[in-house]
Structure 1
Amino acid sequence: MARITLRQLLDDAAERGYGVPAFNINNMEQGLAIMEAAQAVDAPVILQASRGARSYAGDIMLAKMVEALEATYPHIPLCLHQDHGNDEATCASAIRHGFTSVMMDGSLKADAKTPADYGYNVDITRRVVDLAHWVGASVEGELGVLGSLEAGGGEQEDGHGVVGEVSHDQLLTDPDEAVDFVRATKVDALAIAMGTSHGAYKFSRKPDGEILAMHVIEEIHRRLPDVHLVMHGSSSVPQDLQDLFNAHGGAMPQTWGVPVEEIVRGIRHGVRKVNIDTDCRLAMTAMFRKVADGNRGEFDPRKFLKPAMDALQKLCRERFEQFGTAGNAARIKVVPLAEMALRYRSGGLDPRVAGMATAAE
């Protein structure tokens, strides 16, 4: 059994200066490809499921699949994380089904599309922290609305994402608020808004400082050097995958994602978790198209899925190596949830909070 909490994994990443890609999953093939890549390079893993993924696969099927992955890859520390939880019930049900970490995205209201005010975010995030920490699970919060600085809004993904236009200020996390938010909620990780967004169509050009505000990460890290930061919407949408997709019948307009070098820059400034979903989807569906285009008579799903799994495995292995995750799995000694719960209750996992006033000055 090698299931690990997000807090323990990110504490290790911070101590050793690496980042951890968090890959979204909803089926067996994705899980196997990611874990095979992790085993190949000795990397710990974050598998995350959105509410849409949980609905698609079913909680019981998803939970049993992850148990099977643990048994198949027993030496790989694995964090199962709820992505973009919209309320307490979503987070509580995830923990009941074996998730060791939950995200409470209080930047949006429970409908997962309407921006919420700061007070609402603090209140609901703190309540989720209380219930999760009681059993030893970790909590990721979000401050600021995920969305494009170019378009002035966001994209829906699995039913989650702001709808309509939002202000420039809402799309950038305020460093002063970040200090107060972490102190008030005691979250284990903080997702920040700095111009990234869901989906493939993040930027209309290679991003620069005007549309990808890396300085926000750097300033928050300066004020909160011991807080684990999270970059959402951080698929790079590789050009070769776009070209492969389109070469075999696809019609994806030219787009730009978050360059890997910018993610690595973020890791140098406190980013410990990097959310990647679109790249995984694109790697697999580009291969579906290639197989279908190359053999129009093929009807065996395995002939589509195996090349797709190979492509996803290659992508994941690259990210593990690029983010410095590779080579860290075997060394990590997993702490059970019950022990993590005792540490939370004793105050042994909150040394960061005491130093925040000094860090913010």
Structure 2
Amino acid sequence: MALVTTTEMFRKAYDGGYAIGAFNVNNMEIVQAITEACKKENSPVILQVSRGARTYANHTYLMKLVEAAVKECPDIPIALHLDHGPDFETCKSCIDGGFTSVMIDASSKPFEENIAITKEIVDYAHKYGVVVEAELGTLAGIEDEVKVSAEESSYTRPEEVEEFVTRTGCDSLAIAIGTSHGAYKFKPGTNPQLRFDVLHECEKKLPGFPIVLHGASSVPQEYVQMINEYGGNMPGALGVPEDQLREAARSAVCKINIDSDIRLAMTGTVRKYLTENPADFDPRKYLKAGRDAIEAMVRHKIVDVLGSSGKAE
């Protein structure tokens, strides 16, 4: 099976009350772990690449890793997506370079400017059969190139979504309902609550249209504790409760982005391995341990959060 777009994935997810996991990839071990988990769970998947990942790993290397994953998992629908494309040039480079989906993030711009920028990408992408994700509302947090303070963040305004989608022609829409980027999404001691009222109002305005949640890692506390126990320093890291994400996946949310949880699983496991095996210096050993931890994390997300296990028909 060749790389696919998200169009059919999202249609099935919307109708079936589940979401597709969009997992950020940076290197071979992460690609292997995610796709192996999806193969074992028979789940479709979106492999997504940020501008920072392309800078780190090089576009060509990433494409070859994804091509290898497609070859090794011929029965699993795999889409390749640009996460948080900052401008036309970056999106065009990915479209021309083999991506099947791109996100243009002009959410920090005024409404009319966001529409104009998004439409320019849509017009170009659709000529080549590539789908486009856009964003309304601004998520707080820090992850890769995304740096938005709490003061700069804003919830999506449901009264704007229909006009935005109609005028831009985008294929899916990321909205802001209280998720945020990075591992420090909420203050310790708080009771995290997503704005389901905003989500459901957007859903009413856009019946049948796929919604996306960014910044949706849950920051598993066992890995935060592991990192801190083995030399790390992540006090107060807190994520989105998984039961709320599962509830979102039953609605119009067809794509849930997960990055920090993968980083935590790998980093915690590698720290623990190196501490317990101080004489080892073979990267294959500690990276294998990290890869296994990511695979287990992704399988858990597929089964218990996304609900996409067995959906790779």
2:164 is aligned to 181
CA distance in 1, matches of 2:16, 2:22: 18
Residue among 102, 112, 132 paired with 1:139: 132
> How much does 1:305 deviate?
0.5
CA distance in 2, matches of 1:249, 1:301: 19
2:155 corresponds to 1:172:
yes
Q: Deviations over 1:3-41 (max 9, x none)?
A: 110222111211222101100001000000001000101
Larger radius of gyration: 1
CA distance in 1, matches of 2:114, 2:191: 29
> How much does 1:164 deviate?
7.7
Give structure 2 stretches of 5+ with no counterpart: none
CA distance in 2, matches of 1:294, 1:134: 54
Residue among 148, 157, 178 paired with 1:195: 178
1:117 is aligned to 110
CA distance in 1, matches of 2:262, 2:192: 24
Q: Which moved more, 1:198-207 or 1:170-179?
A: 198-207
2:221 corresponds to 1:236:
no
2:253 corresponds to 1:271:
yes
CA distance in 1, matches of 2:162, 2:150: 28
Q: How does 1:56-205 map to 2 (within 5 A)?
A: 56-107=56-107, 115-147=108-140, 155-162=141-148, 165-166=151-152, 171-204=154-187, 205=189
Give structure 1 stretches of 5+ with no counterpart: 108-114, 148-154, 332-361
Q: Deviations over 1:181-220 (max 9, x none)?
A: 11111111100012211110000145444xx322211211
Residue among 214, 223, 235 paired with 2:205: 223
The alignment partner of 1:81 has SS state of: strand
What amino acid maps onto 1:121 in structure 2?
Answer: N
> How much does 1:85 deviate?
0.4
2:20 corresponds to 1:20:
yes
1:337 is aligned to none
1:50 is aligned to 50
1:292 is aligned to 274
Contact 2:6–2:79, Cα closer than 8 Å, also in 1: yes
Contact 2:186–2:192, Cα closer than 8 Å, also in 1: no
2:294 is aligned to 312
The alignment partner of 1:84 has SS state of: strand
CA distance in 1, matches of 2:148, 2:96: 28
CA distance in 2, matches of 1:139, 1:159: 19
The alignment partner of 1:165 has SS state of: coil
Contact 1:236–1:258, Cα closer than 8 Å, also in 2: yes
1:301 is aligned to 283
CA distance in 2, matches of 1:164, 1:251: 22
Contact 1:146–1:161, Cα closer than 8 Å, also in 2: no
CA distance in 2, matches of 1:163, 1:121: 19
Count of residues paired in the alignment: 311
The alignment partner of 1:313 has SS state of: helix
What amino acid maps onto 1:324 in structure 2?
Answer: G
CA distance in 1, matches of 2:284, 2:197: 45
Normalising to structure 2: TM-score of the pair?
A: 0.96
Compute the RMSD of aligned alpha carbons: 1.3
The alignment partner of 1:122 has SS state of: helix
Normalising to structure 1: TM-score of the pair?
A: 0.84
Contact 1:207–1:256, Cα closer than 8 Å, also in 2: no
The alignment partner of 2:147 has SS state of: coil
2:228 corresponds to 1:246:
yes
Cα gap change, 1:206 to 1:276, in 2 (>3 Å): farther
Contact 1:20–1:325, Cα closer than 8 Å, also in 2: yes
Contact 1:145–1:193, Cα closer than 8 Å, also in 2: yes
What amino acid maps onto 2:136 in structure 1?
Answer: L
What amino acid maps onto 1:35 in structure 2?
Answer: T
> How much does 1:241 deviate?
1.2
CA distance in 1, matches of 2:244, 2:208: 20
What amino acid maps onto 1:218 in structure 2?
Answer: H
2:307 corresponds to 1:324:
yes
What amino acid maps onto 2:72 in structure 1?
Answer: T
Q: Deviations over 1:63-110 (max 9, x none)?
A: 111111111111111000000001111111101121100001111xxx
The alignment partner of 1:43 has SS state of: coil
